[in-house]
Structure 1
Amino acid sequence: MRYISHQDQQLTLSETAKPVLQAHQVLVKVAAIGVNRADCMQRQGKYPAPDGDSPILGLECAGTVIELGGDVEPHWLNKAIFTLCAGGAYSEYVAVDALQLMPLAETMTMADGAAVSEVYLTAYSALFQLGQLQVGQTVLLHAGASGVGGAATQMAKRMGATVVITAGSDEKCAHAKSLGADHAINYKTDDFVDYMQSHNLTANVIVDPVSGRYLNKNAAVAAMDCQIIMLAFLDGRFAEVDFARLLQKRISFHASTLRNRSQAFKRQLRDEFMAMFYEDLQAGHFNFNIYQSLPWQQASTAHDILERNENAGKVVLFVE
C-alpha cells in the first residue's frame, strides 16, 4: 500500500505492506484523513508514537471497512465509517479497533467523518467527563476557532450552556460566533479577564490548550468549583501559580491527553459520545468546521497551515 512517510521532517509518498489484522480489528480503506497538531509534532520528532501504535502518522480517518478480524461482528463489512486510529491513518489502509468505529451517517461526507473523531472526542471528554458541564453553566474555550474549540462550542450549545471563546483574530472570532459562541474575545486586542469581568461572566468549565500565563488569568474568571482542563501548553511548560486563588474558589485542575489513553478508555469515550450526540450528527445539527480539504500528496501544505496557525477549523486530506 501507499502511505506518507516522514523522515528528516519531510513528508513523502512511499510504499509498505498492508497491516496484518488482530482478531479485534478491521481493515479500513482510507478515503479521508484528519490532520492534527500531533501529526506535525510527530513529524518533527517531538511526539513519538506510543509503544504498540503504528509509527505512521495519522490519528483519525474516514473510509470503508474491507476486511474483518476473527472476533469482529460481520455487519461492519463494507460499512462506511469514521474512527480514531492508533496511528497509521496517513495510508491507503489502516487497521483499527472495531469497537472504536462509528458509522458514517448518510448526511456526512468522508471529509466530514475525517474531521470528527479526534476533536469531538477530545472536546467531549474535556467538557463532560472532566468538566461535568451542566445546562445553564458557562464554558470558556481558549483557541475557540480551532477544531477542538469548534466541536466544544457546538456540543456545549446543544447542552444549553453559555460559550465564551478566545481567538487570535477578528476573523477567527467571527468564525467561532458562526458556530454558536455567545462571546468571542480577540486576545490580541482585548484581555479576556477584563472582558469577562466587565460582562459579569464567570466560567464553570475552562478548556485550555495555552496554559502557562493563562493559569492565573483563568483562576481570575473561574466560578466556584470551576473545572479547568489543560489540553496543551502552547504558552510554555512553566508558570507561577497563585494557589490561594485556586483554594479560594475550590478550582479543580485536570491535565488531559487522548492519544496515549488505553484502548478501553477510547472505547468507553466513543460509546458515551455516540449515546449523547450521534443523533445530532445524523440530523445534520453540527457544522464539521472544515477549513480546507487537500489531496494527500499535499500533506506538507496541510502541516504548514497548522504550524502557521492559519486555520479556523479542521484541515482534511483526501486519498486519491
Structure 2
Amino acid sequence: MRCIAIEGAGDSDVLKPVERPLPRPGAGEYLIKVSAAGVNRPDVLQRKGHYPPPPGASDLPGLEIAGEVVALGEDTGDELLGQPVCALVAGGGYAEYCTAPAGQCLPVPDAITMEEAAAIPETLFTVWHNLFERGYAGQGERVLVHGGTSGIGSMAIKLGALFGLTVYVTCGSDEKCDAARALGAVDAINYKASDFVEEIKRLTGGEGVDVVLDMIGGDYVPRNLTCLASDGRHVSIAFQRGVSAEISVMDIMQRRLVLTGSTLRARDGGFKALLADEIHRNVWPLVAEGQLKPAIDKVYPLAEAAAAHERMEAGDHVGKIVLAI
C-alpha cells in the first residue's frame, strides 16, 4: 500500500511517500480501505518529534479516517463488512489501508461525504468528552473556546449551538472572527486587537462564562480563570504557550472553580469504545440528519501531505484539513 511515513523529526519535508505491506487486523479490529484521513495538530507534533505514538500504535501519522471495511479480525461481527465507516485511530491514517478497533468505528450516513466523515472523529471525540463530560456544559450555559476557527474550535461552535450553548471564541484576525460567527459562534474576539478577558466581561454583563475550553495553556490559564463565573469549569486540552501557569488557589476556593483536562490518544480502547457509543447515541442522529457537519478548509491528495502540514502550521485554515486517498 501507499502511505506517508515520517523519516526523522523535522519540517514538513520529512513526510515521505513510501510503500509498506498491508496491515493485518488484530482481534477486535477492522481493516479499512481508506478514502480520506483528517490532518490534526498532533500529527504535526509527531512529525517534529514531540508526540510519539503510544506503544503498539502505527508509527505512521493520522488519527482519524473514513473508508470501507474490507477485512475482519477475530472477535468482530461482520455487520459492517463492506460498509463505509469513520474511525478514531492511534496512528496509521495517512495510508491506503489502516486497522481500527471495531469499538471506535461509526457508520457513515448518506448525509455526509467521506471527506467530511474523516474530519469528524478526532475533534468530535475530543469536544464531546471535554466540553460535555469533563466540563459538563449544559443547555443555556456560556462557553469560551480559544482557537475558534481550528478543527476543535469549529466543532465546538457547531456542537455547542446544537446543544443550546452560548459559544464565544477567540481568533487571530477580524476575518477569522467573521468566519467563526458564520459557523455559529454567538460572538468572536480578535485577541490581537482586544483583551479577551475584558471582552468576555462586556459580552456577559460581568457574569463570566460557565466553561472555558482551552488549548493555549501557559499564561492564558489565569486569564481564563478570570473569565469564569462562580462554579465555572476550566478544561485544558493542549498547551501551545507552555505547560506551567501561576494561579490563585484562594480564587479557586472562593469561587468554587474546577480545573480539569485530558488527552485522548493514549487512553485505552475500552474508554474510547464507551465514548464512541455515547457519541453514537447522542450526536450521531444529528450527523445522520445533516445537522452536524465539520467545517472543511481544504482537501489535499495523500502525496501532498507535506503541503497540508504547511497550511496547518501557517495558521490560515478555517476548519479541518483533509487528505484524500
**Band of TM-score, shorter chain:** over 0.9
2:284 to 278, 281, 285: 278
What does residue 2 of structure 1 align with?
2
What does residue 185 of structure 1 align with?
189
What does residue 172 of structure 1 align with?
176
What does residue 289 of structure 1 align with?
295
2:305 to 296, 299, 306: 299
2:320 to 301, 308, 314: 314
What does residue 265 of structure 2 align with?
259
What does residue 20 of structure 2 align with?
16
Matched, 1:84 2:82: no
Do the aligned residues in 1 keep the contact of 2:112 with 2:293 (CA within 8 Å)?
no
Shift of residue 62, structure 1, vs aligned partner: 0.5
Do the aligned residues in 2 keep the contact of 1:179 with 1:287 (CA within 8 Å)?
no
RMSD: 1.0
Paired residue secondary structure (1:76): coil
2:213 to 198, 207, 213: 207
Do the aligned residues in 1 keep the contact of 2:72 with 2:81 (CA within 8 Å)?
yes
Paired residue secondary structure (1:74): coil
How many pairs does the alignment contain?
319
Do the aligned residues in 1 keep the contact of 2:287 with 2:293 (CA within 8 Å)?
no
Q: TM-score normalized by structure 2?
A: 0.96
Matched, 1:222 2:232: no
Structure 1 segments (4+ residues) deviating >2 Å: none
Paired residue secondary structure (2:213): strand
Gap regions ≥5 residues in structure 2: none
- Name the CA distance, whole Å, in 2 between partners of 1:259 and 1:17: 24
Do the aligned residues in 2 keep the contact of 1:204 with 1:227 (CA within 8 Å)?
yes
What does residue 242 of structure 1 align with?
248
Percent of aligned pairs with the same amino acid: 37
Matched, 1:123 2:127: yes
Q: TM-score normalized by structure 1?
A: 0.97
Do the aligned residues in 2 keep the contact of 1:164 with 1:184 (CA within 8 Å)?
yes
Paired residue secondary structure (2:283): helix
Do the aligned residues in 1 keep the contact of 2:230 with 2:257 (CA within 8 Å)?
yes
Matched, 1:70 2:77: no
Residue type at the aligned position of 2:6: H
- Name the CA distance, whole Å, in 2 between partners of 1:104 and 1:155: 18
Shift of residue 287, structure 1, vs aligned partner: 3.4
- Name the CA distance, whole Å, in 2 between partners of 1:188 and 1:119: 25
What does residue 147 of structure 1 align with?
151
- Name the CA distance, whole Å, in 2 between partners of 1:70 and 1:237: 41
Shift of residue 237, structure 1, vs aligned partner: 2.1
Shift of residue 225, structure 1, vs aligned partner: 1.2
Paired residue secondary structure (1:75): coil
Residue type at the aligned position of 2:123: V
Shift of residue 222, structure 1, vs aligned partner: 0.4
